[in-house]
Amino acid sequence: MNDSFKGGPLTRLIMNDQAGRRLLGVLLAISILVPLSNLLMPEGSILHVSTFTMTLLGKYLCYALLAVAVDLIWGYCGILSLGHGAFFALGGYAMGMYLMRQIGDRGVYANPELPDFMVFLNWTELPWYWYGFDQFWFAMVMVLAAPGILAFVFGALAFRSRVTGVYLSIITQALTYALLLAFFRNDMGFGGNNGLTDFKDILGFDLQADTTRAALFFSSGLALMMGYLISRYIVTSKLGRVLVAIRDSESRARFMGYRVEHYKLFVFVVSAMLAGVAGALYVPQVGIINPGEFSPINSIEIIIWVAVGGRGTLFGAVIGAILVNYAKTYFTGAFAELWLFLLGGLFVLTTLYLPKGVVGLWAQIKGKMGGPGSGSGSEKAEGQA
């Protein structure tokens, strides 16, 4: 039954995780086959994946990584962040700033230094916080650092003052809402309500080219796999069990001598960075980042993805994010105004009837059929309270 203490890190990462192995296998196949079919198959062929579809799937992969980040803190440590969209958006803005500077003098105003919106505002020089973003490596550091530092400062304050439960959820909503308002302002220097857009290329490659799109898709798949493995490494270590202890009985963890605030802070920062990476890969694929990404409803949607997929399993988060977003794409096409109601209804139904999400339902069905291997250790929905 219990494998978590057997074997070294590689064993516990891959060998003891049947569901995860399958997930990684599928992700790897998709990450390779979708770009290949887009680039190599002739357009009329049924094996051809259009660039539109590939970009859409790439978006789902970014959302899935975001969901894994949220599951890491919510599913395993009980931190219900309703502001994780903020970290996603910050990663997105860091990437967006790089892409803006890549435009160079090809903007409408042909200013080699300043993005169009700054010229439009009659600014004459680049604000200091835009320095360095012409360098790809610097932008990539900021993709991790901007969400990471915000999460560190916010988490250090909140966790040290022992803000938990609903109160924590409320202040995370306030955080993302405050950022929404701030980024809307033109004088913040992030393009105001239009955000950053009209990107031309990335690392010198044309963003409209299929090859670039294919590479971005592959990178998203790779990032999701890495994010899953990093999270899995954390939750299968003793650190992961301390997180579960904090989730189930915070005071017990404290009286055992664990500094709860340090553990929460660590996992919160890791999660924020994963969200930042997801945002950074999302922006070049959708071609825009604007303050709307900070809106509180976005962060709540992430929670629904995770709840629908199955909290505290990591792979459930991936499944939930993809399922809900697929449904969203379908419904917003068919009857857009109903989507929010459907989403709300879905959440209520999941909470009431599927507390362990789709993944839990699947395990139940398998258990009922009584097939060999049903309910085996690796299928154990870890940390279900």
The interface region with other proteins, picked from 13-21, 142-150, 253-261, 316-324 by CB under 8 A, is 253-261
If the CB atoms of residues 4 and 374 are measured against other proteins, the closer one turns out to be 4
Is residue 382 within 8 Å of residue 313, measured between CB atoms? yes
If the CB atoms of residues 332 and 374 are measured against other proteins, the closer one turns out to be 374
For the chain, the farthest-separated pair of C-alpha atoms sits apart, in whole angstroms, at 71
E strand or H helix that includes residue 252: helix 250-255
**Per-residue interface string for the shown chain with other proteins, residues 208-247, x marking contact by CB under 8 A:** --------------------------x--xxx-xx-xx--
- Residue 264 Cβ, how far from other proteins at the closest point, in Å? 10
- Residue 252 Cβ, how far from other proteins at the closest point, in Å? 5
The interface region with other proteins, picked from 1-9, 95-103, 334-342, 346-354 by CB under 8 A, is 1-9
- Residue 113 Cβ, how far from other proteins at the closest point, in Å? 43
Residue whose pair of structure tokens reads 């405050």 in the numeric block: 178
- Residue 356 Cβ, how far from other proteins at the closest point, in Å? 12
Structure tokens that stand for 57 in this block: 């799937």
- Return d(Cα 14, Cα 12) in angstroms, integer: 6
If the CB atoms of residues 29 and 385 are measured against other proteins, the closer one turns out to be 385
The interface region with other proteins, picked from 81-89, 143-151, 251-259, 319-327 by CB under 8 A, is 251-259
- Residue 260 Cβ, how far from other proteins at the closest point, in Å? 7
- Residue 166 near other proteins by CB under 8 A: no
Residue 154 CA: distances (Å) to CA of 157, 160, 274? 5, 10, 17
If the CB atoms of residues 196 and 270 are measured against other proteins, the closer one turns out to be 270
Q: Rule CB under 8 A: which of 260-319 touch other proteins?
A: 260, 262-263, 266
DSSP letter, residue 237:
S
Is residue 307 within 8 Å of residue 321, measured between CB atoms? no
Residues contacting other proteins: total by CB under 8 A: 30
- Residue 354 Cβ, how far from other proteins at the closest point, in Å? 18
If the CB atoms of residues 58 and 360 are measured against other proteins, the closer one turns out to be 360
> CA dihedral defined by 37, 38, 42, 45, rounded to 10 degrees?
60
DSSP states along 136-205: HHHHHHHHHHHHHHHHHHHHHHHHHTT--HHHHHHHHHHHHHHHHHHHH-GGGSS-GGG-EE---EETTE
**Per-residue interface string for the shown chain with other proteins, residues 112-131, x marking contact by CB under 8 A:** --------------------
Structure tokens that stand for 161 in this block: 């003052």
- Residue 248 near other proteins by CB under 8 A: yes
Is residue 123 within 8 Å of residue 114, measured between CB atoms? yes
Instruction: Classify 289 as helix, strand or coil.
Output: strand
- Residue 312 Cβ, how far from other proteins at the closest point, in Å? 9
The residue among 135, 138, 112, 114 whose CA lies nearest residue 126 is 114
List residues near other proteins by CB under 8 A: 1-2, 4-5, 234, 237-239, 241-242, 244-245, 248-249, 251-252, 254-260, 262-263, 266, 382-385
